[in-house]
Amino acid sequence: MYDIETAIERISGHTVLCVGDLMLDEFVYGEVSRVSPEAPVPVIAAKRSEQVIGAAGNVARNIASLGARCLFISVIGADDAGAAMKSAFTAYRKTIEPHLVVDRSRPTTRKVRFVSEHYSSHLLRADWETAKPVAADIEAELIELVVAMLPRVGAVVVSDYAKGMLTPRVIRAVIDGAHKLGKPVVVDPKAMDYAIYRGATIITPNRKELAEATRRPVATHEEVAAAAADLRRMVESRAVLVTLSEDGMLLYTEGAAPVHVPAYAVRIRDVTGAGDTVVAVLAALLAGGIDFESAMRAANAAASVVVGKPGTATVSAMELRSRILPSAALAAEEKIALDWAVADERVRGWRAQGLRVGFTNGCFDLLHPGHVKVLAKARAECDRLVVGLNGDASVRRLKGPTRPIQDALARADVLAALEAVDLVVVFDEDTPLELIKRLKPTVLVKGGDWRKDDVVGRDVVEAEGGHVVLVDLVPGHSTTRIVERSATPPTAAKHAKPPKSGPKVKA
């Protein structure tokens, strides 16, 4: 087995090519409290909506969120949805390089989902799409892009949603071209005839797709393994990874016993795009030469993260590492939100219960008694306390190149273990202003060494009817001072004069 922690750390050095069908995913969230008088259907009182890049685009987003670079090739229509896609990709300009071929003969695929927030369930989906093969000129343009991109990447994903972009010729160009350059190819299949994927390195059908492709029963793990063996021979792949939803995953490789891993026990909020996350993690890790079983176990962990988020979600390298190498206690793990969407949902739930949400922030590097007492005082000012934690890059900018002493995940673990802390949210900016704008806490808590007028986010909180509270600091405690003392030679420390009073701590 490979050193998975090292493999995750190295993902940022990899580039992955993703080729596949692109969709605009829209989510309309609201509450259902009555049935329509016009027909026996529920009426959703829409509260908010969001648009995200979906399908193969979500694979690209996951590759980017893991820290790798993604070269992305797909097709869009000459319409408003296509323009929205182009605009959406600008937010990923540093991590995704999109090559979007415009096909004027078809619309951009668009799916709108209506979701009940109270029950975390989908009520209805509306689709706009044309599922037919692209014309020869579009096909030729796609193949030209594939040939140009392949030398720049370490692995390839073929994300087939059966919308017509991935014709047999395009798929053949991807797989054959990748093989010539020694690049692994991960295929997420949807075609009726799996023979078009011949030569893929690893193929990832779900249970239903495996049964349809092989015409074999797949009720038990033994039947799944037998069908996977048939599929491997059929497509001449090195491995088959079958996703089994709540039953986990099963890996079949030639000459080895099948390996089954159970699903993580998590609260499922939305399974949309979980398969995209699986192939993204596989490709990002295979680009670094990891073995199939280690890659599968990581993909299984990643899937458990995204199904716990609303909508078409992604997983970060930190979230993946946290799930594979979990916190010391489950309670602490559940109190860490590395994705702001998770924090949004948690805070909305508290507000629905009429609870006052407080917020404070800091670097919290080398947690000391001063921190603990300030956090306890902050918790006394509210019903639930959210702690904004500076990410590693943010700490380096604020404290210098030798900090932090502990990485963000380690600092979050320690904070989450405190009874006073209800949620830890990591942010990478120098200040928590954007996080405060998003969470809109009722109480903003800072140390007594601040003036109220200088507190970041004060205007945001007060505009929402909240207020700022300054709590007294505990003298004599400072992370910087601890670091300085630890770097002082013992003999020098023995003769050093103690400070008259310790510096104030910035929590």
C-alpha dist (Å) from residue 399 to 353, 402, 480 = 38, 8, 9
pLDDT > 50? residue 324: yes
Question: Edge-to-edge strands of the sheet including 259-261?
Answer: 96-102, 69-76, 15-20, 155-159, 185-188, 202-203, 239-243, 249-253, 259-261
Range list of H helices, 353-449: 369-379, 392-399, 408-416, 433-439
> Which residue, among 227, 232, 147, 220, has the nearest Cα to 181 in the 3D structure?
147
Determine the Cα–Cα distance for residues 374 and 365; give it in Å rounded to an integer.
Answer: 15
Largest CA distance in the chain: 86
Query: For residue 37, what are its two tokens?
Result: 């008088």
Residues known to be catalytic: 276
pLDDT > 50? residue 504: no
Determine the Cα–Cα distance for residues 218 and 226; give it in Å rounded to an integer.
Answer: 8
**What's the length of the chain?**
507
Determine the Cα–Cα distance for residues 196 and 178; give it in Å rounded to an integer.
Answer: 15
| Common-topology check for domains 4-22+56-105+140-324 and 333-495 | no
Query: For residue 402, what are its two tokens?
Result: 């030798």
pLDDT (average), residues 352-367: 87
Residue 357 dihedral angles phi and psi, to the nearest 5°: -100, 120
The predicted-structure confidence for 6-65, as pLDDT tens digits, reads as follows: 899 899 999 999 999 999 999 998 988 899 999 998 899 998 898 999 999 999 999 999
Strand partners, 74: 100
DSSP 136-152: HHHHHHHHHHHHHHGGG
- Give the model's confidence band at 4: pLDDT under 50 very low, under 70 low, under 90 confident, else very high: confident
Give the type of residue at 261: V
Residue 360 dihedral angles phi and psi, to the nearest 5°: -145, 170
- Give the model's confidence band at 370: pLDDT under 50 very low, under 70 low, under 90 confident, else very high: confident
The DSSP code for 2 is -
C-alpha dist (Å) from residue 429 to 395, 470, 484, 491, 507 = 9, 23, 26, 40, 16
- Give the model's confidence band at 377: pLDDT under 50 very low, under 70 low, under 90 confident, else very high: confident
Residue 117 dihedral angles phi and psi, to the nearest 5°: -70, -35
The DSSP code for 382 is S
Determine the Cα–Cα distance for residues 211 and 227; give it in Å rounded to an integer.
Answer: 7
Determine the Cα–Cα distance for residues 191 and 174; give it in Å rounded to an integer.
Answer: 16
Q: What are the boundaries of each domain within the chain?
A: 4-22+56-105+140-324, 333-495
Superfamily of domain 333-495: HUPs (3.40.50.620)
Secondary structure, 3-state, 268-300: CCCCCCHHHHHHHHHHHHHCCCCCHHHHHHHHH
pLDDT (average), residues 87-112: 96
Report the pLDDT value the prediction gives residue 327, as an integer from 0 to 100: 46
Query: For residue 8, what are its two tokens?
Result: 């995750």
CA 184 to chain centre: 23
CATH 3.40.50.620 for the 4-22+56-105+140-324 domain, yes or no: no
Determine the Cα–Cα distance for residues 167 and 169; give it in Å rounded to an integer.
Answer: 5
Least confident range of 22-36, 66-80, 93-107, 484-498: 484-498
β-pairing, 155-159 with 121-128?
unpaired
The predicted-structure confidence for 406-461, as pLDDT tens digits, reads as follows: 999 889 989 998 888 999 999 999 999 999 999 999 999 988 778 888 899 999 99
Report the pLDDT value the prediction gives residue 478, as an integer from 0 to 100: 54
Query: What is the per-residue burial (b if ≥16 Cβ within 10 Å, else e) of 84-100?
Result: bbeebbeebeebbbbbb
Helix, strand, coil abundance in the chain, percent, nearest 5:
40, 25, 35
> How many helices (H) and strands (E) in the chain?
19, 19
The DSSP code for 453 is G
